[in-house]
Structure 1
Amino acid sequence: MAQDLSHLPSGLYTSATVKQAEQAWVDAGEGDLYQLVERAGKAAFELLKSSLKRPQKVLVVAGQGNNGADALVCMRHLLQADIECALLLHPGTHPTAQWQQAWQQLQDFSFERLASDGWIEADIIVDGLLGTGIRGQLSPEVALLIDNINLSDAKVLSLDLPSGIMADTGAASGSAVQADMTLIMGALKQGLLTGRARHCAGELHFADIGLTPYLPAPEVQRVDGHMLAEIFKARPRDSHKGLSGRVTIIGGDYGMAGAIRLAGEACLRAGAGLVSVISRPEHQLTVNNGRPELMFRGCELVDMEVYQRLGWADVLVLGPGLGRHDWGYNLFKAVGLTEKRAVVDADGLNILSTEPRCHPNWVLTPHPGEAATLLGCDSHAIEADRFAAVRQLQRQYGGTVLLKGAGTLICNGSQLYVAPVGNPGLASGGCGDVLSGIIGALMAQGLENFLATVAAVVVHGEAADLAARDGERGMLASDLMPWIRHLVNTQ
């Protein structure tokens, strides 16, 4: 099961903003920067003491920045508690003043110091190598240290960030420590909840070291399943299907009937009152077999009946299985002639990339490959800075943009949310079609586009986490359906 992150702050910050808050803390007369180091190191010691069995030996791997200073303070407390420690120090060119103070405080204790290229096995490794101080590519010496940490059988506690992970993006600079736990100091760094960091950070813990009053209003926020109870209130007893929204879903070219069927069923399971599907006539049996609640309109050519079905809907969902041939392109153009609220996914996005336009009332749902196509780059550039990518997509195409992946991002230009929900079981065909159906359903039920998208991402991810109780590998998109219904009835 996914970790419950409700104990974490909702605001997310860049490393520069956190440094400004630290300086504001000092300027307010709260203390000096070394006192923050002392608090951070003490918090790391307390976490080790409370959450792990008493270790036989701890290896502290530290650099000479303030992250390394936190590690040295933690080590001093471990030694005071009569826990055997060894130190592997990676020398820097300019140790910080705070590191020098922490080092001086450590000199009253006896411990084993390893050469920078040495190594020993331990029960616990404290990773204080880089923290937020990473700049560019790692040196071969640092990369080797990280590889040794990852090859060890020891439990790993990373301080603030797993070394090698970039605080502002969640991307890895080559190698990155794969921690069992990460203790976040003072403020939640935005990169920890998305990208490669989702794999490397392990169980997240938070240490309040006193910065909260000095942090500005966050530009990025975290969201999870605890929001759902505020959204899904009980329906009035006199409700009828006309009050629950009408959705038309367009797609399913030859060989892709499953995509449109999954999107349609997810739309129904998420509470839409009426759902109509426009697809190839040959796909009616596939769509309606076992799901007769879906209305079906076979389409060979875009005619008046198609336009009537588009006009009938409150919300359009375009793209699941649409294809990139003339059939799909003509449907794309037909949807573009309407002013309807719309969700554009899959091949709808691929066609959009060939005829770029900006629209304030749609929701775009690219995965990194589709995002790269829309921005004219490659997926590596998207994953290198997912925050920059989703903002650029929103500026260029308008509306609300959802960038899928580990730690989905949702942006409407004024708000940016990170949803650290879901699991690798979602990396299978059809899961994106399910998400599009949920978004369309929530929009049709009256939620504003951005809120509908955020809530749909949470429902989708939480449903995946519930479905993964039977294992992530082999999980199907259709396995989410009963859990979607369960989650939209959270009250």
Structure 2
Amino acid sequence: MTPLFSASAIKDGEKQAAKIAGISLFQLMERAGEAAFDCAQRHYPLYHHFLVVCGRGNNAGDGYVFAKCALNANYHVTLIQVDSERPLRGDAAKAQCDYLESGGTLLDAGDGHLGDGIDNGPYLIIDALLGTGLNLAPSPVFEALISDMNRTDAPTLSIDIPSGLNADTGHIVGACVVANVTITFVADKTGLHTGSARDVCGIIEMDTLGVEKEFSDCTQSVARLYQDSDIAKMLPNRLSTAHKGDAGKVLVCGGNEGMGGALMLAGKAAHRTGAGMVACLTHPQHINAVLSFHPECMVSGWEGDKSHVESRLNWCDVIAIGPGLGQNDWWSRTLFSLVLKQLNHTFSDKFLVIDADALHFLIDSPKPNPNQVITPHPGEAAALLNCSIKEIERDRLSAARALHKKYGGVVLLKGAGTVVFDGRHMSIIDIGHQGMATAGMGDVLTGVIASFIAQGLSPSDATVVGALIHGYAADLSSKNGIKIGLLASDLLTPIAKIVSQAAD
């Protein structure tokens, strides 16, 4: 787990950290530029020409230090400065002066198109335009430069953050540099791991600039980043003498007429991740199909019998409701209402995972429930908060907080850089890929989360590790040659292998 910080916290924290460490902010800038130069050499060892594009803030200062390092190492440097006739200020001005005194030259951004006149072979673009302070669309001058950078065939290394990306939210307003590599400094930023970040950051590296301890001692993180290496530490322990009753009982409710596949995916995913017993409550027409696809599952048809629902709720440890539930009044709404009513009055200690069509009905009864997990995608989140998808994607972390305030429990907001919020801790799951944008993926995730709750994990931990395993299984499938065209059912075997290997 890696702590993530807001841009303002890093700005304030690095000042305190530098003071504690007994160094100046200019020395930090020098370290940043040197780290970026080392990064460029590692990733692009055959490139000997750098096109450094500088803005007007401290990010430009990092670019000037980079350029000076490159000159001193006998690399060819072309440096473009925005509004070069206007003096820079502070440490950026000092870095510019040092570069010029080392024999460097600069061109004004308005003098021509990016890359004009470069004839010394392939070059690497160094993005030192805007940095982490951006919260509005770039001005026309910067937007034109960004567009030119993206149009070239040259690869790009962004210093601290791709220019145009919001460091807190991962949202893009206007133009944004599409980097091949991003090196960020002091601490990791939330905006590099959710929203549109994955489309523009490329490979992300982080350099603490030698003040990691000082910074962590004086700065509070706002979120936690989880990756596949965290899976083994989070899984529930299982004794050699364990039996199926120790591994929990999951009830999956859904699968209205013609939509049984979603229910089956959720049920099998629960078993594949270690649940001891799984039962499905579904439309009668799906009984034979469920038994054929998943013979280990106990399945029964539901036709409106209240006592049947009560009996199944009494049996299970956790309920997953929504996969294939549908949205009609008689079957879908009645089943959802019965489950919620029984949980509120008789089985208040049971945990509930709500997904898909069940979220539609949750809008009608938004009473906060500490024992539930909701797993909306951005469209469902927009409906739950009565806003637009654009508003959700503009600030995914704030959307997760708003969902928790209204509905309680644990919120999992799907998307690139899945966000999990439990009322105290904000987590980002930066794993998985675009091939997961296909029907049934969310149903598998629902079953996985329900399984881990049944096995004894807290709803929060079950949601985080469930999302990790879900995304990691997709990544493993892509390594085996399946990315676009990946099916939700393709994940069932990989998730079992991940759980088994992590438990060894």
**TM bucket by the smaller chain?**
over 0.9
Contact in 2 for aligned 1:164/1:174 (Cα 8 Å): yes
Shift of 1:330: 1.1
Q: Residues 409 and 377 of structure 1: is their aligned pair in 2 closer, same or farther, counting only changes over 3 Å?
A: same
Q: Distance in 2 between matches of 1:387 and 1:31?
A: 34
Mean Cα deviation higher: 106-115 or 340-349: 106-115
Shift of 1:186: 0.7
User: How high is the sequence identity, in percent, across the aligned residues?
Assistant: 38
Matched, 1:456 2:460: no
Contact in 2 for aligned 1:357/1:397 (Cα 8 Å): yes
- Among 318, 325, 329, the residue aligned to 2:333: 329
Matched, 1:131 2:124: no
Aligned to 2:478: 468
Aligned pairs for 1:74-223 (under 5 A) are: 74-91=66-83, 95-111=88-104, 113-117=106-110, 118=112, 119-120=114-115, 122-212=122-212, 213-215=214-216, 216-223=219-226
Q: Distance in 1 between matches of 2:108 and 2:125?
A: 16
Q: Distance in 2 between matches of 1:296 and 1:177?
A: 52
Matched, 1:345 2:355: yes
Tell me the amino acid that sits aligned with residue 329 of structure 1. Answer: R
Q: Distance in 2 between matches of 1:14 and 1:73?
A: 25
Shift of 1:147: 1.4
Shift of 1:281: 0.4
Q: Distance in 2 between matches of 1:442 and 1:366?
A: 19
Matched, 1:239 2:249: no
Secondary structure at 1:258's aligned position in 2?
helix
Mean Cα deviation higher: 138-147 or 64-73: 138-147
Gaps of 5+ in 1: 1-8
Q: Distance in 2 between matches of 1:81 and 1:297?
A: 73
Tell me the amino acid that sits aligned with residue 185 of structure 1. Answer: F
Q: Residues 94 and 432 of structure 1: is their aligned pair in 2 closer, same or farther, counting only changes over 3 Å?
A: farther
Matched, 1:47 2:39: yes
Mean Cα deviation higher: 112-121 or 334-343: 112-121
Mean Cα deviation higher: 232-241 or 263-272: 232-241
- Among 430, 443, 452, the residue aligned to 1:433: 443
Q: Distance in 2 between matches of 1:96 and 1:108?
A: 17
Matched, 1:311 2:321: no
Q: Distance in 1 between matches of 2:277 and 2:334?
A: 24
Shift of 1:198: 1.5
Contact in 1 for aligned 2:9/2:220 (Cα 8 Å): no
Aligned to 2:266: 263
Q: Distance in 2 between matches of 1:412 and 1:437?
A: 19
Q: Distance in 2 between matches of 1:94 and 1:309?
A: 73
What TM-score does the superposition give when structure 1 sets the normalisation length?
0.95
Q: Distance in 2 between matches of 1:94 and 1:25?
A: 28
Mean Cα deviation higher: 304-313 or 124-133: 304-313
Q: Distance in 2 between matches of 1:300 and 1:90?
A: 69
Aligned pairs for 1:30-69 (under 5 A) are: 30-69=22-61
> After superposition, what is the alpha-carbon deviation per residue over 1:140-173, rounded to whole angstroms, capped at 9, x for unaligned?
2211211111111111110110011000001112
Mean Cα deviation higher: 18-27 or 470-479: 18-27
Mean Cα deviation higher: 294-303 or 114-123: 114-123
Contact in 1 for aligned 2:353/2:374 (Cα 8 Å): yes
Mean Cα deviation higher: 27-36 or 369-378: 27-36
Shift of 1:440: 0.4
Mean Cα deviation higher: 85-94 or 116-125: 85-94
Shift of 1:29: 6.2
Secondary structure at 1:296's aligned position in 2?
strand
> After superposition, what is the alpha-carbon deviation per residue over 1:186-221, rounded to whole angstroms, capped at 9, x for unaligned?
110111011101111110111121332223242311
Aligned pairs for 1:372-383 (under 5 A) are: 372-383=382-393
Aligned to 2:3: 11
Q: Distance in 2 between matches of 1:382 and 1:290?
A: 37
- Among 416, 435, 445, the residue aligned to 2:426: 416
> After superposition, what is the alpha-carbon deviation per residue over 1:22-50, rounded to whole angstroms, capped at 9, x for unaligned?
22134436222211111100111111122
Tell me the amino acid that sits aligned with residue 207 of structure 2. Answer: A
What TM-score does the superposition give when structure 2 sets the normalisation length?
0.93
Shift of 1:276: 0.7
Contact in 2 for aligned 1:302/1:331 (Cα 8 Å): no
Q: Distance in 1 between matches of 2:21 and 2:276?
A: 59
> After superposition, what is the alpha-carbon deviation per residue over 1:247-293, rounded to whole angstroms, capped at 9, x for unaligned?
11011112211110111110110111111111110111222223211
Secondary structure at 1:82's aligned position in 2?
coil
Contact in 1 for aligned 2:5/2:220 (Cα 8 Å): no
Q: Distance in 1 between matches of 2:284 and 2:339?
A: 19
Secondary structure at 1:78's aligned position in 2?
helix
Shift of 1:482: 0.7
